[in-house]
Structure formats: C-alpha cells, structure tokens
Amino acid sequence: MSEYENPTITFYPHESEFDVTPEEQKPALSTNERLMNYNGRLKESLNNGIRFTEVFDTLINTTDLNELFQSIKTLASYQLDDDYLVYPIQYSRADFYLIFINRLLSLNDKETVILMSSEKDRALYHEFPGINACGRFKFKVDSADEQRAFYIDERTGLSLFYIDFSDKVLYFNSRDIVELLIANDAENNKEDLIRFEKYLVSIGECVEQAYGYEVDFNLLNARRNAVYPIVSETEPEVALDRLFIMGSEAGCMLKSGINGEAIMNLSDSVVLTLFDENLAGGNSPKWVITVKDDEDKISFFDLLVRYDFFKDWYLENLQSVEIRRARCFWKKDDGEA
C-alpha cells in the first residue's frame, strides 16, 4: 500500500521571490515607529490649529486692508479639524464673513451695524438699530462654493446681497430688499430705512474701492447716469397709465418727452424718467428707469421711501416695472430669464 501514499513534502517560507506577495514584502512597522508616526501627525494637527489662530488674529486685529482680505480668503477655505484633532467649539465661515464686514467698515470709519453673538448656538449675527423688527442679519454660505455667500435676514430668509470672495463680485438683490424693507416697512421709520440703505451701500463701496470688486448696486445706485432696467421688454402701458393717475393725485404730473419717454418731476430737483434705452438704434426694446437730482444722492430706493404714492405704484405694478436683479438670485419661476 505504501506505493500509493503521497510522499511527505516540507515547504520552506519564501524559497523563491515568486512565492512572496506584495503585502508580505512591506516591512512591518515596529511599535516605536507607530508611536513616532502618531506623534508626528498630532504635531501637524496642533501646528494647523496654531496657524489658524494666527490667521484669525489678523482678521480681528490688522489695520491693513490687504492683510484683512487675505485673512478672510484663507479662512474661507481653512480646514481646522482632521482625523487626529477635532475642535468642538468653532466659528463658522458665515461668522468669519460677518467679522470681515465689520472690520472692513470699521477701517473705513463706516461701521454702523452691531455684531452680536447668540448664546443659544454661539453663532454671530448683525443687528442694525431701528431695523430690529426685520430680525437678525447673517451670511448663508453657498453649499457649492464656500467662498460665495448670501447676506440674509434670518427670520424670512430674504437675501439682501450676494458676495463672491473668489471672483470679487457683490450684487444687491432688488426684489428681496423691496420685500423686506419697503413692502413690510410698517415697523420702520423712513430715517432708519435711509440709514440702513447707506449701510448697505457702504459695504459695496468699501469692497469696490479697497479690492476692486465688481458691484451691482441695483436700486441702491445713486451715482450719475445710474440706469435701472425693468423686467418688461415692452412699453409698460398699464403701469404708465397708473403712474399718471396716482402721480396726479399726489400733485406730480407725468409728461411725455420728445422721444416718447415718460417724465415726472417729483420735486424741483428730482426727475424720474422711464424710456426705451435702445430708441437710438438698438436691436430690441430695453425699458429702463432713471432718477436725476442735482447732487447725485437720490436712488430708486430713496424714491420708494420718500414718496408714498410712488411706493404704492411700484408695488402694484411689479410684474412690469420691477427692477431687474443679477442672475444669482433668479429662480425658475421668476420670469426674469
């Protein structure tokens, strides 16, 4: 029977290089090496935290505008936590943006908003004296890009402006500004609304002058030759008829100009004009509104605050004469595209 038995074979480990798997080729880490690797990673985490505090120090203390901007750019994408070290209490990117706005305005002697802290969730928010009924103002960071954010009223979610720290743009949102401050302004007096307008304009002017931002002031624009495009692509005849009637009742006559433009003298120095900007040879109608005054201090928003009949007319005819806003605020059902 022994001739049918398999002979005993003894295998020795790795007699040939072809017997070794890639995993077995890697030398195992010794206990000491593992400890040193852990300690090194922990040092990196601690240094990352220290670096964060240095950048945060710059954000809250620097008097240099360029350093201020670089600090917020860094914090906008800074990753503080990692697998080795997690900080349980942190300010959010939205909080950093609020701090940046306050510091920027302060360095330009234009700080009028109060930076507050919520005891409930430790989040920061802005509070403007006289506009408290509108709620608290904060930033909502764009989920697709953390360097983009909307400045919103926390209670309603309405966004007053959009800012992009990467592309250096800031756009004001005419629709939400009107809805929050004009359509629902029963609890705010006109002086507070004008002060809040100046605060918003100051933000745009500061980023424009200090960092070269492209700023669309929209209905807040009071500069010479400011033009406010409206949503209607054709002459808003019904709205003009209503403006004629409502203006007449308020003692302001709507007149027709030599090129078909509608002109209204709201006072001795303030003139409102609505006309087709492409009358001189454009391919298609582009209806716009302009506001002229002697000192270039009156914006479209100012008219809504100062003249009750004009506010009522505008709110009644939004479907045709609403001031257009930047695409970042558009929704599919807005009818602005």
d(CA 146, CA 166): 10
Q: Which three-class secondary structure state does DSSP give residue 238?
A: helix
Q: For residue range 62-101, list pLDDT tens digits in order.
A: 999 999 999 999 999 999 999 999 999 999 999 999 999 9
d(CA 296, CA 289): 15
In DSSP terms, which residues pair with 268 in a beta bridge? none
Which residue bears the tokens 């240099």?
64
Q: What percent of the chain has pLDDT over 90?
A: 72
Q: For residue range 31-70, list pLDDT tens digits in order.
A: 888 898 899 999 999 999 999 999 999 999 999 999 999 9
Please give the model's pTM, rounded to 2 decimal places.
0.86
The yes-or-no verdict on residue 185 having pLDDT over 80 is no
Q: For residue range 121-173, list pLDDT tens digits in order.
A: 789 999 998 886 667 899 999 999 999 999 999 989 999 999 999 999 999 99
Residue 25 has a pLDDT of: 57
Tell me which long-range contacts 243-247 makes (C-beta under 8 A, separation of at least 24): 243/313, 243/317, 246/309, 246/310, 246/312, 246/313, 247/309, 247/310, 247/313
The yes-or-no verdict on residue 301 having pLDDT over 90 is yes
The yes-or-no verdict on residue 285 having pLDDT over 50 is yes
Beta-strand ranges (E) seen in the chain are 114-117, 124-127, 137-141, 148-153, 159-164, 169-172, 214-216, 228-229, 254-256, 262-265, 271-276, 287-292
Q: How, if at all, do strands 228-229 and 114-117 pair?
A: unpaired
